[in-house]
Amino acid sequence: MNQDKEVYPGYLIESLLAQGPVTVVYSAIDLASGLPCVIKTVRLDYLYEKQALAFLKNEIKVLETIKHAACPVLLKSNIEIQPFFFVMEKVEGCTLRHELERKFSFSPPVVIEISRQILSFLSNLHGIGFTHGDIKPENILIGQSKKIKIVDFAFSSNVRMNEKLETNLMLGTPNYIAPELCAEIPVISLENDIYSLGVLIFEMLTGSLPHPEGTISQTLLRHQSDPPAKLRQKLGELNPKFINAIVDMLSFDLHDRPKAKNLLDIFVKFEIENMVSG
C-alpha cells in the first residue's frame, strides 16, 4: 500500500508536508470539525516498528506535558493499532530554514526576538526535565507577527527520569549537534539544546555555520575536537554582551554553557534595550 493511500479514520489527507527516515507529516482536514490539522505517522517502509513507535510516543509525551505558546496543540493520538499516528494543530507559516534561504541572515533585533521565544519554550521544557533534542531551522515554524512554534520532539529525552531513547540513529542533526553527543557514549543533557541554539543564533546572524560544512564524519570529528573558528570576529560589531552569550552557548564543555532560564533573562534584557534604543 502506498503511504498516501493509508487511512486515518476521521481525517482527509490533503498533501505531504515533510518526510524523514522514520516518519511522514501530512496536511489534513478533521472531517468532524472541518478544521485543518497535521498528521504525523510512521513510514510504511521503515523496518523497525518498535523504534518508530518509540519516536511517536516521545513526541506525544512532550506535547501532552508542555503547555506553552510555542508548542503545537496535540489533538489526538493513536499508538494502539496501525497506522500509528498523532494529530496536532496546523500552524500557518513557514520554517525558519525557508526564511534563512530567502533572506540569508536576520538583523540582531529579529534574531533576539526569535531566540527569546525559543528560550522561553526551552526554559519551560528544561524546567520539567525534558530536552528537545534537535533544535535547528527546519524545526522552528514562523507564523504571523513572528510568533514561533517548535516541532519535532522525536529525539526528546527526560533526563530527570533518566529516560533515553534506545536507537541506532544519531541523536540530532550533524551541523547542530552538541559535541558531547558525538562521543562514543553520547552524553544526553539539557545543555545539548543550548549548544544547538547557539549554532542556530550564529547562523541567523551571519548566514553561515560556526563550523565549515562537511560530510557527516567530518562534522562529527570537528565538533569533537575543533573550537568554532574566530567566533567573535565573525559576529562583527554586535553588543559585546550579546556576543559573549553566543560564545558561551557554543562552549565545547557542556558545564560552561548557560542554563535556558538564565539565557532567557539575558535575551529579555537585550530585547528591552533594543526597544528603548529603537
pLDDT of residue 68: 95
Say yes or no: 79 and 206 in one domain: no
**CATH label of the domain that carries residue 49:** 3.30.200.20
**Who has greater pLDDT, 185 or 86?**
86
Share of the chain above pLDDT 90, in %: 56
Say yes or no: 145 and 208 in one domain: yes
Rounded Cα gap, residues 215 and 118, in angstroms: 28
Number of CB atoms found within 10 A of residue 238's CB: 14
Give the model's confidence band at 275: pLDDT under 50 very low, under 70 low, under 90 confident, else very high: low
pLDDT of residue 1: 45
**Who has greater pLDDT, 44 or 62?**
62
Which range of residues forms the domain containing residue 20? 3-89
Task: Select from 89, 109, 137 the last residue of a domain.
Answer: 89
Candidate list 4, 30, 45, 134, residue with the active-site label: 134
Beta-carbon contacts of 202 under 8 Å, excluding residues fewer than 6 positions away, are 208, 209, 210, 228, 231, 234, 235, 246, 250
**CATH label of the domain that carries residue 117:** 1.10.510.10
**Who has greater pLDDT, 197 or 104?**
197
The mean per-residue pLDDT over the stretch 88-101 comes to: 93
pLDDT of residue 163: 59
Task: Select from 56, 89, 122 the last residue of a domain.
Answer: 89
Say yes or no: 19 and 49 in one domain: yes
**What domain count does the chain have?**
2
Task: Select from 48, 71, 89 the last residue of a domain.
Answer: 89
Say yes or no: 14 and 149 in one domain: no
Say yes or no: 112 and 7 in one domain: no
The mean per-residue pLDDT over the stretch 165-175 comes to: 66
Locate 136 and state its grid cell.
535547528
Give the model's confidence band at 229: pLDDT under 50 very low, under 70 low, under 90 confident, else very high: low
Say yes or no: 104 and 220 in one domain: yes
Task: Provide the b/e sequence for 81-109 (b: ≥16 CB within 10 Å).
Answer: eeebbbbbebbebebbeebbeeeeebebe
> Which among 81, 85, 73, 78 has a CA at the least distance from the CA of 3?
85
User: Of the ranges 94-98, 164-168, 268-272, which one carries the lowest mean pLDDT score?
Assistant: 164-168
**Who has greater pLDDT, 129 or 273?**
129
Say yes or no: 233 and 109 in one domain: yes
Beta-carbon contacts of 251 under 8 Å, excluding residues fewer than 6 positions away, are 195, 257
Angle at 21 between CA 56 and CA 4, to 5 degrees: 80
248 included as an active-site residue: no
Say yes or no: 118 and 68 in one domain: no
Angle at 135 between CA 129 and CA 139, to 5 degrees: 115
Q: Residue 210: is its pLDDT beyond 60?
A: yes
Say yes or no: 156 and 256 in one domain: yes
User: Of the ranges 97-111, 176-190, 219-233, which one carries the lowest mean pLDDT score?
Assistant: 219-233
Beta-carbon contacts of 17 under 8 Å, excluding residues fewer than 6 positions away, are 25, 26, 27, 38
- At 252, the amino acid letter reads F
Query: Cα 121 from chain centroid?
Result: 11
Say yes or no: 109 and 170 in one domain: yes
Say yes or no: 259 and 129 in one domain: yes
User: Of the ranges 24-38, 126-140, 162-176, 209-223, which one carries the lowest mean pLDDT score?
Assistant: 162-176
Angle between helices 240-249 and 260-277 (to 10 degrees): 160
Say yes or no: 149 and 219 in one domain: yes
